[in-house]
Chains A and B, each alone.
Chain A
Amino acid sequence: MIKVENLSYSFNDFPLLENLNFEVNTSEIIHLKGQNGSGKSTLLKILSGILNNFQGKVLSTTKNVFFLGHNLGLKDSLSVKDNLLLDYRFNSEVNSLSEALTLFELNSLKETKLFNLSQGQRKKVSLVQLFLSKYDLFLLDEPFANLDKKGIELIENTIRSHQNRGASIIFTSHEDHNISSRELAL
C-alpha cells in the first residue's frame, strides 16, 4: 500500500530522518516507535502529504487517507456534534453517530461546546471520527495519549476492526500495544 525509498528529511538543516526504507502492506498495523524528537510525527506528516519537501520516494496506492495529528483539528467554539458532522473526514451515516457517541460516553455532551471539555474528552471526540470513518489508510499520531484504560481498549478494538476491513494503520505511541503487526523504530 505504501513504499518508502531512501526517505530523508531535514528541519532547519538538522537531519531528522535519514535514508528510511520500508513498506506497509494491506491490513497491516505498524507501530512507529522512537524517542521524543526522533521524527515519528514528521514521518506521518510526510506519508499523509502535509510535508512534501523531503528527499527520496513515497509511493502510495491510495489517496483515501485518514490523518490524526497532535492537534486534533477540532473547533473550540463548536459543539461536539457539529465538530463531528462538519469534519470533512466524516463519511458515515448520521444515525451511526449517536451510537458511536454512546459507545465513547459522549452522548450527554453532544451539544456541549468543545472549550468546556477536558483534554481526554476532546481526544475521545476526535477518536469518534476514527471509529466512524472508513478509509484505506489511517495515520495516527499518539492516538492513545490522554485516554483512560477503557478508552485505550476502545481504540485498540477500533484499529483491529479497521484492519479486518482491509485498511492499514500506522500509529505512534511510547507504550507497548499488542495490536501491531510489527514495530518500526526510528
Chain B
Amino acid sequence: MKNFYYKTFQRDSKVYLSRSSSFLGPIVFFLITITLYPLAFGSDEEKLAELASGIIWISILLANLLSHQFIFNEDYKDGSLDLVLASGKSLFIWASIKIFVNWYFSSLPLIFLSLLTSFMLYLPFDAALILALTLFLGTPILSMFGALAGALTLERGNIVGSSIVIPMCLPALILGILAIQSYKNEELFFYIFLLAAFLFFSIPILIASCLGAIRLHFE
C-alpha cells in the first residue's frame, strides 16, 4: 500500500498534468507580459537592462496569482479536503506537498523561462544567474502566500485572494530585485541571506497559517 503523502503528491501531479490550463496559464501570461514590456519601453538596451529584474519579478508575481486558487479550492469543493481531515494524517505535511506541487508546476517552469527571457531584456549573464537564485528562493514564498490567500478565500473569488497576496509578497519582491541590482556589490550576499531567511521562517509560519485558515471553514 502506497503512503498517504506519496499518493497526495502523485494525485496532485496527475491533476496538474491532466488540466493544462493550471500550469500553461501562468507560462503564457508570463511570456505575454515579458514581451509587452520591450514594446512599451522601446528597444533601449540600457533602459531595459536596468528594468529587467523588476519586470521579471513582477511578471512572475502576477503569473503566480493565476495558480494559487488551484492549491486548496478544488479539494474543498469536491470533498477531498473532508477525506483528508477524516484521515487523521498530518495536515502540515499534506499542505506542504500541495504547495510544493503547485510551485513545481507553476513557478519552476517560470524560473527557467525567466533565464531565457532575461537575455531578451539585455540583462547581463551574471545578473541573470542571480535572478535565477533569487527566484529559487523567492517563488516558494510567493506560492506559500498564494496558498494562504487561497485557504482564506476557499468559497470566494480569485480577486479577494489576489488582493491579499500582493501586499504580503512585496518584501520578497523587493529583496529579490535589490539582490539582482547589486550583483556586482558585496551587498548581494546580504539580500540573498535576507531572502533565504525569509523563506526559512515562512515555511512553518505560512503553512501553519494555511491550516488555520482551512480550519476556519469547518467551524
Contact = CB atoms under 8 A, between A and B. Distances in A.
Interface of A: 45, 48-53, 63, 65, 67, 69-78, 82, 86-91, 113, 139
B86 A88 contact: no
A113 B14 CA distance: 12
B18 interface: yes
A65 B84 CA distance: 11
Nearest to A52: B218
A20 B219 CA distance: 19
Given A71-B78, A73-B78, A77-B18, A86 B85 contact: no
Main secondary structure of the interface of A (DSSP, over half): loop
B85 A49 contact: yes
A72 B86 contact: no
B15 A50 contact: no
B119 interface: no
B11 interface: yes
Chain B contact patch, size range: 20 to 34
Contacts of B84: 88
Which 9 pairs, one residue from A and one from B, show the smallest C-beta to C-beta distance?
A71-B79, A67-B86, A48-B86, A86-B11, A73-B79, A77-B18, A50-B85, A73-B83, A88-B4
Contacts of A63: 88
Best-surrounded residue of A69, A75, A87 (most CB of chain B within 10 A):
A75
Interface string B16-48: 001100000000000000000000000000000
B139 to A, nearest CB: 24
Interface string B73-90: 010011110111111110
Interface of B: 1, 4, 7-8, 10-11, 14-15, 18-19, 74, 77-80, 82-89, 218-219
Nearest to A70: B79
B1 A91 contact: yes
A30 B210 CA distance: 36
A52 B78 CA distance: 21
A90 B79 CA distance: 16
Contacts of B87: 88-89
A154 B139 CA distance: 49
7 contacts: A45-B82, A71-B78, A73-B80, A86-B11, A87-B83, A88-B8, A89-B83
B218 A50 contact: yes
A113 B17 CA distance: 13
Contacts of A77: 15, 18-19
Contact of A69 (B11, B19, B82): B82
A5 to B, nearest CB: 21
Contacts of B8: 88
A76 B78 contact: yes
A82 B18 CA distance: 11
Contacts of A53: 219
